[in-house]
Amino acid sequence: MKSNAVLLIFLAAFVSGQDEWWKTTERLHRDLLLNKNYSSIVCPHESHNHTIGVYMTHVVRAFYVDELTQILTFNFWMYMYWSDKRLKWDMKDYGNIFQTELAAEDVWKPDLLVYNSADPTNIAHFGNVPVTVYSSGTVVWMPPATVKTECPMDLTYWPFDTQTCEIYMGSWTRHGFQISYETSNPNMTTEQHLRAMLQTNHHWEVKNIKLEKQVYDAASLPYYVVRTAITMQRNSPAFTATVILPGIAVAVLTLIQFVLPVDYPPRVTVGLAATLACILMLIELATTLPPLGASSPLIVRYYGFALMVSVLSIILSGLLARLSKEPPEVLSIPVPGFIKGLITGPLATVLGLRFMADKVGRSGMSEKDNEEEIIGERKSFLHEWLLLATIVDRLSALTYLVVFICALLALTSKLH
């Protein structure tokens, strides 16, 4: 019986203490807001030339990049704190309460907005969560936020590109003499955090997240802007099989096309296969890549150049096949003199075509009196045109080989 009585007394005291704590908290809230006629619109300046320091940072939780519209959806937790002397109290007067929570709409908060928002009609970026107020007058606000910003993309090195998307936030109504934003960068680029980011976004691998303060002048007044830059690299293992390997196959087909003799019939078949492959890949890239971008991707330029070279090779093959079958009596037009001098000179030696250049005789020097001389001259015309077409063919092959090697080096350099 005695122990039960002690327990009842203890429970009564505990309930009484809990009730007293709630009453004390309610009294504290009344004294802070109602009795002081607190206004959530008035900025808590201590004097007319006092600048409020707002300290802020954030932790990125997830993001999504819409490449078609080039818009970044950014989800993060904002952390801000500042000092509001109107919310200061003596803990001894309120049961040693050193912190309390107030509704966000009841206290003053920085009018922080996203300047480069892709949805300008939505200005309620931050969640309406309570603020934590300490007895010293320090106010801490940690709202979640989801914003959409424009993110212009440079697709030059697609699909091994690295993009940097930026978010600019600042006060909409107050200049730098009234509010000063101070940023701090916690260790947001740790291996664990970046791995967690990759798990939430399988298309991009986050390389760095940077938060910094910038200042710009407007109407002779400083304005502070908080810039968040997220640097990410495309996570594209599948593109190696679907884009790069077909590009190598097209290169091999095109080079085989140039290796074959110009008047060899299967050469046209190989050229048609390379041309068809280029057309199909360009159609696929047109449906995959966004229609926007600062520049055309190297892979698109490569397939376009490969298509042009393949078509040129097919045309040359057809012309050479026609010339090789043409009777000498029909050929009466020589290659222009300045071109003939160019193709029969050192250029033929460098390209390994001296044996063809030696078959080209001197034409057009004098009138021919007999039929044999005329036929011999026209045979020389035939060799001139064959030599010209072969030189164009080999120059195209060398140009294509150089372009292929440069494109391959440029793309593979982005793999590291």
- My answer on whether 242 and 360 are in the same domain is yes
The whole-angstrom separation of Cα 344 and Cα 337 is 11
End of a domain among 235, 252, 283? 235
List the end-to-end C-alpha distance of the chain, in Å, as a whole number. Answer: 79
Q: Which stretch of DSSP H or E encloses residue 55?
A: strand 52-66
Query: Are residues 299 and 387 both part of a single domain?
Result: yes
**360-373 residue pLDDT tens:** 655 444 444 444 44
24 within some domain: no
Tell me, yes or no, whether 94 lies in a domain.
yes
* Angle, helix 298-325 to helix 245-259, in steps of 10 degrees: 20
State how far the Cα of 157 lies from the Cα of 131, in Å rounded to an integer: 45
Rounded CA separation 228/165 (Å):
8
Q: Is residue 2 part of a domain?
A: no
The answer to whether residue 337 is domain-embedded is yes
Band (pLDDT 50/70/90 cuts) for residue 133 is: very high
Residue 411: which pLDDT band, with cuts at 50, 70 and 90?
A: low
Examine the fold and report which residue of 235, 262, 294 is the final residue of a domain before the chain moves on.
235
The whole domain housing 58 covers: 30-235
**Cα separation of 233 and 202, whole Å?**
11
| Residues 324 and 209 both lie in one domain | no
CA nearest to 58, candidates 134, 138, 125: 125
- Six token digits for residue 53: 């320091």
Q: Binning pLDDT at 50, 70 and 90, where does residue 190 land?
A: very low
CB atoms within 10 A of CB 266: 12
Among the residue ranges 31-35, 156-160, 215-219, 412-416, the one predicted with the least confidence is 412-416
Same domain, 223 and 264: no
Based on the structure, what is the number of domains in the chain?
A: 2
Q: How many CB atoms lie within 10 A of CB 223?
A: 18
Note whether 248 and 327 are same-domain residues. Answer: yes
pLDDT tens profile 308-317: 888 877 887 7
Q: With respect to residue 223, please indicate whether it lies within any of the assigned structural domains.
A: yes
Quick one: 206 and 250 in the same domain?
no
User: Which CATH number is 176's domain given?
Assistant: 2.70.170.10
Do both 167 and 268 map to the same domain? no
Query: Domain for residue 20, yes or no?
Result: no
User: Are 172 and 221 in the same domain?
Assistant: yes
The pLDDT of residue 77 is: 85
Distance CA 85, CA 341 (A): 92
In a domain, 13, yes or no: no
339 has a pLDDT exceeding 70: yes
Boundary (domain end) residue, out of 235, 252, 285: 235
* Same domain (yes/no): 202, 291: no
> Count of CB atoms within 10 A of residue 138's CB?
16
The mean of the pLDDT values for the chain is 77
Q: How confident is the model at residue 323 (pLDDT cuts 50, 70, 90)?
A: low
- Confidence label for 276 from pLDDT (cuts 50, 70 and 90): very high
Q: How far is CA 112 from CA 123, 126, 173, in A?
A: 9, 9, 9
258 and 379 together in one domain = yes
Same structural domain for residues 142 and 35?
yes
Residue 19, phi then psi, degrees to nearest 5:
-65, -40
Q: Is 289 helix (H, G, I), strand (E, B) or coil?
A: coil
